[in-house]
Structure 1
Amino acid sequence: MGDTEHLSVRREGATLVLTLNRPEARNALSLPMLVGLYDGWLAADADDSVRSVVLTGAGGAFCAGMDLKALAGKGMRGADDARWRERLAADPDLHWKAMLRHHRPRKPVVAAVEGPCVAGGTEILQGTDIRVAGESATFGLFEVKRGLFPIGGSTVRLQRQIPRTHALEMLLTGRPYTAREAADVGLIGHVVPDGTALERALAIAEQVNACGPLAVEAVKASVYETADLSEAEGLAAELKRGWPVFDTADAKEGARAFAEKRPPVYRRA
């Protein structure tokens, strides 16, 4: 797994940083970008040395959504390249998995947003776990203003992540939201000075990386698995996820390190 035409990949310690890299189009979605994203999610989960992922955008933008000019013309940019066509033909759901519509990485994903994060950008955002935005970032689902449908999952997921009245307003008006508004309704967790979203996201990822990786992954899985269960069902499911963690060598190492007043050394065991 590596860079594609519109997706850059690098490591920052135990964090894999995926950068949407088409700044001349405000990182509008392209097929090479989506292929790179999906490969990035798979690579992060396959590599035990990766403990978290940060998703960001190049050039002061996160993602302006679908390339509408391409959509009105011959289709998504990059689709004429045989490499990308072959990948999409082999897995017709690849673009949805790339956008985290129905693919959930095992590792925690932190979004670092600067500038526009709209339409498909806001849809991808809903698949991330922790979200940081620069104070000038903008959000919104503009599809209805273009006579389109936010088919990346927003009519299902948004109402589960923010109050329904706010979800419906965002979906039905197609208006832009400031970072402060997005934080007020709970769509993002942190608003930081412009230009520092990536720095904060990496700092949060480093805090995640310092924790027991088996525990982190089990906690993330439990949160999502139990989201639509009754409380009784959720608590039962939580025990099934949680008890095995206590039997790991990492759990013993965590307790030992606490007693010895030293940083733990986790080995995913």
Structure 2
Amino acid sequence: MGGTEHLTVERVGATLVLTLDRPEARNALSLPMLAGLHDAWLLADADDDVRSVVLTGAGGAFCSGMDLKALADRRNPDDPVRARFKADPDLHWKAMLRHHRPRKPVIAAVEGPCVAGGTELLQGTDIRIAGSGAVFGLFEVRRGLFPIGGSTVRLPRQIPHTHAMEMLLTGRPYTAAEAERIGLIGHVVPDGTALERALATAELVNANAPLAVEAVKACVHDAAALPEPDALALELERGRPVFDTADAKEGARAFAEKRPAVFRRA
């Protein structure tokens, strides 16, 4: 259903599938790819028929990080994509989910390298599935750089402190098995099947009431940085209105009638 150069966007049922499509560069992040990602997140948010998003990469790779050479190229200053980034200096951070949180659940399907900016982008997703040959890591310190895509903030909140610090400070690669063990990803599957598993997981999400799913996701994220009493108060604030929805009543009826529920986002 479209996309931009280096990003393919398609619908599979109620799931929007975003494919980083620059396999010759192991799907390194380019300006067209980032612009496409930004637009795709907004598309998913705006389309009520989209209930989940799957993010994956083409050619047996997820993402090898930022293409610094391409980003520094000034040979075509009138390029319309480059003009978008000049007009909105925050655009790349929104694309990488640093300054934007999609309303719908985002499931990562990782094959091959998912390193540097790839691992930073991964941290903006909700559910993570990887092929057994996938490789993860934040290599920035090895090159005198800083993982400025959110990793010094997000990683210690998503995995145990000691593992976050080791990943950040050593810059070493992590296998899929090790990434699963420390909690960076949730599932390891045979190579070549991560997308299939991600789509199956998306179907499980899509079968649920969308207002409930979105409220749960928003509450988990917004409560994460709050003290427990404030977080519990927020949970009641976000959760109580869900019980008053037509979908909640439909869920109860469907359970009593022993049939699948038909949720209408109402």
Q: TM-score band (shorter)?
A: over 0.9
The two structures, once aligned, show a CA RMSD in angstroms of: 1.4
Percent of pairs with identical residues: 79
Q: How does 1:3-22 map to 2 (within 5 A)?
A: 3-22=3-22
Deviations 1:96-121 (A, max 9, x none): 00000121000000000000000000
- TM-score normalised according to structure 2 size: 0.97
Distance 2:77 2:17 in 1: 27
Moved over 6 A (4+): none
Per the alignment, residue 209 of structure 2 pairs with: 212
Using the TM superposition, give the Cα deviation of residue 70 of structure 1 relative to its aligned residue in structure 2, in angstroms.
3.4
- TM-score normalised according to structure 1 size: 0.96
Distance 2:140 2:69 in 1: 14
Per the alignment, residue 224 of structure 2 pairs with: 227
How many residue pairs match? The answer is 266
Counterpart check, 1:267 vs 2:261: no
Q: Out of 52-61 and 79-88, give the one that drifted further.
A: 79-88
| Amino acid paired to 2:145 | L
Per the alignment, residue 251 of structure 2 pairs with: 254
Per the alignment, residue 27 of structure 1 pairs with: 27
Counterpart check, 1:187 vs 2:184: yes
Per the alignment, residue 67 of structure 1 pairs with: 67
Distance 1:128 1:105 in 2: 9
Deviations 1:124-177 (A, max 9, x none): 000000000000000000001111111101011100001111111101111000
1:177–1:193 Cα change, 3 Å = same
Per the alignment, residue 37 of structure 1 pairs with: 37
Structure 2 stretches lacking a partner, 5+ long: none
Per the alignment, residue 128 of structure 1 pairs with: 125
Using the TM superposition, give the Cα deviation of residue 90 of structure 1 relative to its aligned residue in structure 2, in angstroms.
2.3
Give the one of 109, 112, 127 matched to 2:109: 112
Give the one of 183, 199, 203 matched to 2:200: 203
1:254–1:174 Cα change, 3 Å = same
For the Cα contact (< 8 Å) 2:30–2:70, is it kept in 1?
A: no
| Amino acid paired to 1:178 | T
Distance 1:49 1:74 in 2: 39
For the Cα contact (< 8 Å) 1:2–1:36, is it kept in 2?
A: no
Q: Out of 222-231 and 204-213, give the one that drifted further.
A: 222-231
Q: Out of 221-230 and 131-140, give the one that drifted further.
A: 221-230
Using the TM superposition, give the Cα deviation of residue 81 of structure 1 relative to its aligned residue in structure 2, in angstroms.
6.0
